[in-house]
């Protein structure tokens, strides 16, 4: 027995020594074999059992390690290891329960730190921040920078809600710089965020210079994608798209990074490159990204997937994706409903879309206002202005908002109902006056209301609108002048009082300016003004005639034709058509040799008897027949000696 005991002890000692050596070298897979040798001899050895769990965790066999803990009833002994396995198996709810099952007083430091990470995964950022503050305060080791970087990541997610006050963030490492840049991006300070990200990129290269190019690239991908997001939000779409494409082409290991870059590329594409957008949205919706993204990111990707289906006009997919969106995120019910109704409008099914929106407006009070606006838009698509007016009037006191008042006035004027528009503006003026409401800049509304009433002759209502406008802009002289005009029509005393506030004429212009205005020809056209000015200068006796320069038109010499001979006089009939010239003879038919004159059937002898052309004209005052004179050729015809030669082939 003693020999067997000694051999077992030697085996266990040698195995533990081997485990220690392999653990220091990081060869945990071989260490598991050494642990199994111990467990084959002593199955209940607690130290060996714990060593095996640690080795399985180190080789990322989390499921096997979790089963091993439960099988060997190590739950109470290895709470940290069990909770960590559950956290890495993407089961944070069970992990937080395991941590909270610790009953031996206060949580140790390692469980507090793990609990903070689990709370971050559960998106309970307020609790997470308080716990990280406690952990950082009570710890002092080499991992302090990593804890601070995690705390800045928590703060970055809390900055989505701008109402919360946040602590100061340290900026010592490139991770902390990155998270600080994310905080600025959430605060819409994209320019500052981009500059800080550039600094983080430079610091990352310097810090990881000894770790190799592959590890540096993996760390830089996240920074570069965030830079691209800042550029995209600043309107630099091309630069951002190039960075996203470069990142996706290099295929980083982090699936969350791929999802973010793919989703943002789809947003840039919009209705262009639809095939590429479909490919990228599948990458963003991959199962590997499910546990790497937070709820806000997953909501945005799911919503963009529905919008992409809407752009591709695939009705079945739109309904299917909207249903999934509604099931996963009930708070996006209104958005999914709008997408479905938009698809119905594309199919010209306006009535169905309006019915759906009306039902939703009755059940949902939160989005009733936006829903009615969507209904108005659909009614206007159909050209139904009267029902659109009724829907806007049903908004209650919200109908007195400047934008809605403007829309109602436009619709009333479109239906030729000016009295209703006037009444609406009057009631709006009264409502604002009685309720003393001042929301935003209402100057445009008061100005438009005043001008409308002045044109319509309602000077009293116009005066009330101008009074309200004068409260907003007390130094506006134009408003003051309009108010004087309005009061002058029904209250002369008030008009006189207000007119005293107008600046005096002497302060506005001088005597010379008045003379210039009277002498100016601003009523006449520009041409008439020039003529009158010239006439005045001609009539004035003071202007000496010697100084006047006569305007002479410069005559240019005409171009002479080629081969022009100045000695030969030009043909007087050179501009006449050829058939109108004196020497023109009509070509006769050469075949008609004997001209027969007279009635049909007469002989040639009888024709001479009745041929009057051979007889002498006995009329006394008949003019002499014109004698033919050969005309001299014009200058253009002198060089044409041979005329056109007949070419071969019979063409001229």
Q: What is the SS3 assignment for 498-528? A: HHCCCCCHHHHCCHHHHHHHHHCCCCCCHHH
> Which comes out higher in pLDDT, residue 284 or 565?
284
| Structural domain for 21, as ranges | 2-163
In degrees and rounded to multiples of 5, residue 642 shows phi and psi of -95, -5
Radius of gyration of the chain (CA): 50
191 shares its domain with 69:
no
Mean pLDDT for the chain overall: 79
pLDDT over 70 at 516, yes or no: no
19 shares its domain with 147:
yes
Per the domain annotation, does 370 fall within a domain?
no
Cβ neighbour number for residue 24 with a 10 Å cutoff: 8
157 shares its domain with 183:
no
149 shares its domain with 9:
yes
Per the domain annotation, does 73 fall within a domain?
yes
Mean pLDDT score, 356-363: 87
Residues in contact with 561: Cβ distance below 8 Å, sequence separation at least 6, in sequence order: 635, 636
Instruction: Work out the burial of residue 341: count CB atoms within 10 Å of its CB; fewer than 13 is exposed, 13-18 middle, 19 or more buried.
Output: buried
Per the domain annotation, does 206 fall within a domain?
yes
Per the domain annotation, does 301 fall within a domain?
no
Q: What pLDDT score does 552 carry?
A: 62
Q: What pLDDT score does 624 carry?
A: 42
136 shares its domain with 7:
yes
DSSP string, 115-160: HHHHHHHTT-HHHHHHHHHHHHHT--STTHHHHHHHHHHHHHHHTT
34 shares its domain with 69:
yes
151 shares its domain with 176:
no
246 shares its domain with 209:
yes
Q: Please state, in angstroms and rounded to a whole number, the distance separating the CA atoms of residues 308 and 265.
A: 12
Where does a domain end: 253, 272, 299? 253
131 shares its domain with 70:
yes
Q: Tens digit of pLDDT for each residue in 116-164? A: 999 999 999 999 999 998 998 888 888 888 888 888 889 888 877 655 6
Q: What pLDDT score does 4 carry?
A: 61
> What's the CATH code of the domain at 18?
1.25.40.10
Looking at the chain, the whole-number percentage of residues with pLDDT higher than 90 is 27
**Which region among 292-301, 324-333, 548-557, 619-628 has the lowest average model confidence (pLDDT)?**
619-628
Q: How many separate domains does the chain show? A: 2
**Which region among 31-35, 181-185, 566-570 has the lowest average model confidence (pLDDT)?**
566-570
67 shares its domain with 9:
yes
Q: What pLDDT score does 559 carry?
A: 77
Per the domain annotation, does 225 fall within a domain?
yes
For the record, the structure tokens of 238 come out as 């091309």
Mean pLDDT score, 406-435: 80
pLDDT over 50 at 637, yes or no: no
pLDDT over 70 at 81, yes or no: yes
Helix axes of 46-58 and 62-71: crossing angle, nearest 10 degrees? 160
Per the domain annotation, does 144 fall within a domain?
yes
pLDDT over 50 at 551, yes or no: yes
Instruction: Provide the residue count of the chain.
Output: 652
Q: What pLDDT score does 208 carry?
A: 87
129 shares its domain with 176:
no
Q: Do the beta carbons of residue 115 and residue 107 sit within 8 Å?
A: yes
Where does a domain end: 223, 253, 283? 253
**Which region among 199-213, 392-406, 456-470 has the lowest average model confidence (pLDDT)?**
456-470
68 shares its domain with 158:
yes
Per the domain annotation, does 198 fall within a domain?
yes
Per the domain annotation, does 578 fall within a domain?
no
Where does a domain end: 236, 253, 270? 253
Q: Tens digit of pLDDT for each residue in 257-312? A: 999 999 999 999 988 888 899 999 999 999 888 888 999 999 999 999 999 999 88
Q: Please state, in angstroms and rounded to a whole number, the distance separating the CA atoms of residues 382 and 348.
A: 10
pLDDT over 70 at 431, yes or no: yes
């Amino acid at each position: 027995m003693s020999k067997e005991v000694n051999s077992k002890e030697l085996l266990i000692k040698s195995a533990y020594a081997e485990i220690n050596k392999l653990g220091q070298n990081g060869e945990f897979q071989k260490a598991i074999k050494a642990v199994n040798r111990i467990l084959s001899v002593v199955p209940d050895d607690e130290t060996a059992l714990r060593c095996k769990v640690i080795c399985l965790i180190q080789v990322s066999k989390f499921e096997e390690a979790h089963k091993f803990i439960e099988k060997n009833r190590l739950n109470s002994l290895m709470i940290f290891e069990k909770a960590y396995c559950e956290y890495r198996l993407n089961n944070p709810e069970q992990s937080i329960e395991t941590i909270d099952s610790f009953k031996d007083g206060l949580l140790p430091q390692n469980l507090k730190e793990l609990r903070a990470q689990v709370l971050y995964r559960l998106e309970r950022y307020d609790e997470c921040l308080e716990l990280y503050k406690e952990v950082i305060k009570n710890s002092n080791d080499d991992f302090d920078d990593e804890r601070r970087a995690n705390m800045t990541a928590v703060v970055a997610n809390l900055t989505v809600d701008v109402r919360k006050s946040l602590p100061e963030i340290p900026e010592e490492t490139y991770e902390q710089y990155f998270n600080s840049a994310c905080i600025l991006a959430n605060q819409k300070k994209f320019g500052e965020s981009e500059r800080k990200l550039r600094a983080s990129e430079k610091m990352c290269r310097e810090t990881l210079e000894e770790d190799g190019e592959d590890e540096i690239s993996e760390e830089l991908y996240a920074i570069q994608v965030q830079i691209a997001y800042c550029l995209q939000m600043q309107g630099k779409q091309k630069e951002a798209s190039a960075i996203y494409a470069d990142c996706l082409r290099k295929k980083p290991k982090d699936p969350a990074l791929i999802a973010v870059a793919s989703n943002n590329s789809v947003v840039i594409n919009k209705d262009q490159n639809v095939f590429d957008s479909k490919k990228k949205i599948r990458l963003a919706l991959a199962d590997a990204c499910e546990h790497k993204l937070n709820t806000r990111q997953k909501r945005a990707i799911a919503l963009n997937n529905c919008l992409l289906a809407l752009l591709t006009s695939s009705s079945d997919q739109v309904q299917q994706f909207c249903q999934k969106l509604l099931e996963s995120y009930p708070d996006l019910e209104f958005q999914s409903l709008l997408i479905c109704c938009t698809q119905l409008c594309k199919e010209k099914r306006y009535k169905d879309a309006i019915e759906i929106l009306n039902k939703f407006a009755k059940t949902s009070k939160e989005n009733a206002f936006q829903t009615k606006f969507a209904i108005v838009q659909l009614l206007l698509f159909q050209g139904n202005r009267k029902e659109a007016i009724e829907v806007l009037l049903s908004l209650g006191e919200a109908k007195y908002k400047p934008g809605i008042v403007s829309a109602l006035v436009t619709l009333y004027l479109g239906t030729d109902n000016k009295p209703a528009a006037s009444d609406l503006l009057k009631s709006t003026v009264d409502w604002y006056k009685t309720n003393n409401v001042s929301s935003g800049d209402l100057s445009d509304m008061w100005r438009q209301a005043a001008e409308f009433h002045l044109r319509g002759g309602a000077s009293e209502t116009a005066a009330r609108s101008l009074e309200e406008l004068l409260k907003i802009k007390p130094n506006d002289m134009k408003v003051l002048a309009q108010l004087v005009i309005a009061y002058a029509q029904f209250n002369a005393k008030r008009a006189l009082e207000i007119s005293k506030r107008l600046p005096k004429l002497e302060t506005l212009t001088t005597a010379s300016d008045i003379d210039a205005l009277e002498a100016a020809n601003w009523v006449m056209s520009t041409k008439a003004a020039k003529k009158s000015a010239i006439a005045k200068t001609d009539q004035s006796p003071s202007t000496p005639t010697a100084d006047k320069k006569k305007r002479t038109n410069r005559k240019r010499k005409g171009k002479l034709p080629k081969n022009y001979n100045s000695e030969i006089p030009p043909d007087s009939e050179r501009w006449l058509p050829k058939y109108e010239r004196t020497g023109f003879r009509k070509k006769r038919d050469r075949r008609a040799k004997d001209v027969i004159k007279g009635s049909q059937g007469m002989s040639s002898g009888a024709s001479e008897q009745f041929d009057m052309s051979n007889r002498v004209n006995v009329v006394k005052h008949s003019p002499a027949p014109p004698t033919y004179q050969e005309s001299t050729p014009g200058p253009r015809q002198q060089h044409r000696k041979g005329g056109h030669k007949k070419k071969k082939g019979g063409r001229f």
